[in-house]
Amino acid sequence: MTHPATSTLIAARGAAGAPGHAGRARTFWAAASVLALALWSSGAPSVLYPIYAARWDLTPIVVTSVFATYQLALMVVLPLFGNLSDLIGRRRVMLAGIALIGASALVFAMAPHVGYLFVGRMLQGAGAGLAMGAATASLIENNTSGNPRFASTVATVATAAGLTLALVVSGIFAEYLPLPLVWSYVVLLALSVVSVMALLASPDDRPAVRVGWRPQVPFVPAGIRIGFVIATLSVSLAYSVGAIFLSLGAHMIGQFTSTDNTAVVGVLLALSAFFIGGTGLFLAKVPARTLVWSGTALTLLSLALMAAASAVRSLPLFVAWCVVGGIAYSLAFTGGLGLINQLAPQRHRGAILSLLYLIAYTLQAVTALGVGALATSGTLGLAVGVGALGLGVLCLVVVVLLLVHPARARSTQVASRQGQPTGG
């Protein structure tokens, strides 16, 4: 259950005086930088996994377990602290998350063995768990554009930009600079400092009435549950396909091209993130349900390309997967967030967004660990094929929900936009 004084906090926030347009704009873009930083931290090790594997003789299941530690940390943090930004303010929670991400950069940079990678990913996941729900809620609440979907579009573009730059920069630095496993994390630490400065320059959003924190049992208000499930599965599809891409993509490229040039690997992996962000620029005026529909359809196509590329070891098919998969990710992620933005009441927004991320990251972790285990016990092609089949079933579940409940979902959206209560 939500803390009983949460509604009092929201009223007190308004009574304390809302920041002006300039202050809201600063807060909006500071929150966007936090989202970009969270995805930068997530993607920074991806290009380097083959180097770690070669240096320390790591199997695919160990590599994907390192990757999934990020999600497992999120799964612990989000149920405990998902409502924290509703109680003490978005900015303070984002600052705590950035501090953990900065600490993870130091751990990665000094890593003498694989145990440090697990600790670094744990810190990254805990930091992202604190920061992402608060940052997304802050984007929604400080959107000054007049277009309610602009916040979800900026969230998509910011995360894609962070991931794209992380992959490219990590690859180039690892290939052409000494200490290939260090410089990417030096940049991550510097960016953490920049995000902290941006947040400190934005208005304080602490509520006037202080309420002690306690863990919140995850819940979704009855009137928005169907929409929540559709939105969460849409985001989960994007994240789960991304899990295969980021944890095993570099290994797939190595098989296709026989190259160990990390700059090439980074650019190829960044191609998908580039199309995520590029597509997101054009989605601000597209209805959320339309985005979920089209994102689900393109995800099915991208899964077919992914399985085919792995089966025949085709670089052109892999590039096609990068392009189609990037567009599909952008549509599904933006659509899912857009739907939640329309439905979630402000007094529960941080908690609802945190629950959405919790479920999405849980499915992402399951996907990463599953394909890693299959790749270790069998072949990479088998692992990718089974992963594609499982996520294809999840796509069909989204399609069924959209078909079975179209009228109810639309009426819920309309009621939410008008500020009216919805039925159970």
Residue 210: pLDDT over 90: no
The encoded tokens of residue 117 equal: 């990678």
**How much is the mean pLDDT over the chain?**
82
Residue 203: pLDDT over 80: yes
Q: Which of 99, 120, 100 is nearest to 109 (CA)?
A: 120
Counting the structural domains of the chain, the total is 1
Q: What is the dihedral of CA 301, 384, 44, 394, to 10 degrees?
A: 50
Give the model's confidence band at 217: pLDDT under 50 very low, under 70 low, under 90 confident, else very high: low
Half-sphere exposure (Cβ direction) of 378: Cα atoms closer than 13 Å: 13
The percentage of the chain sitting over the pLDDT mark of 70, rounded to a whole number, equals 87
Name which of 24-28, 144-148, 335-339 the model is least confident about: 144-148
pLDDT at 294: 96
Residue 419: pLDDT over 60: no
For the residues 168-191, what does the mean pLDDT come to? 91
Burial readout 399-408 (b: 16 or more C-beta within 10 A, e: otherwise): eebbeebeee
For the residues 207-231, what does the mean pLDDT come to? 73
For residue 213, give the amino acid letter.
W
Domain membership flag for residue 134: yes
Task: Kindly report the CATH number assigned to the domain that includes residue 365.
Answer: 1.20.1250.20
Domain membership flag for residue 192: yes
For 362, the domain range is: 17-205+222-418
Residue-wise pLDDT for 45-88, tens only, equals 888 888 898 899 988 889 889 988 988 898 888 778 877 887 88
Higher pLDDT, 154 or 149: 154
pLDDT at 240: 92
What's the CA gap between 43 and 267, in Å, rounded?
Answer: 13
CA distances from 374 to 45, 116, 119, 383 (A): 22, 25, 24, 5
The percentage of the chain sitting over the pLDDT mark of 90, rounded to a whole number, equals 33
Give the model's confidence band at 284: pLDDT under 50 very low, under 70 low, under 90 confident, else very high: confident
pLDDT at 156: 80
Residue 15: pLDDT over 50: no
pLDDT at 185: 93
Give the model's confidence band at 301: pLDDT under 50 very low, under 70 low, under 90 confident, else very high: very high
Look at residue 314 and give its three-state secondary structure.
coil
pLDDT at 1: 32
Name which of 145-149, 293-297, 356-360 the model is least confident about: 145-149
Give the model's confidence band at 414: pLDDT under 50 very low, under 70 low, under 90 confident, else very high: very low
Choose the most confident range, by mean pLDDT, from 66-75, 82-91, 106-115, 402-411: 106-115
Q: What are phi and psi of 258, to 5 degrees?
A: 55, 30
pTM score of the predicted model: 0.74
Residue 389: pLDDT over 90: yes
Domain membership flag for residue 29: yes
Domain membership flag for residue 316: yes
Residue 3: pLDDT over 80: no
Residue 423: pLDDT over 70: no
pLDDT at 8: 30
Report DSSP letters for 117-131, one per residue: HHHHHHHHHHHHHHH
Give the model's confidence band at 213: pLDDT under 50 very low, under 70 low, under 90 confident, else very high: low
Q: Give the residue ranges of DSSP H helices in 344-424.
A: 349-377, 380-404, 406-418
Higher pLDDT, 221 or 379: 379
Domain membership flag for residue 290: yes
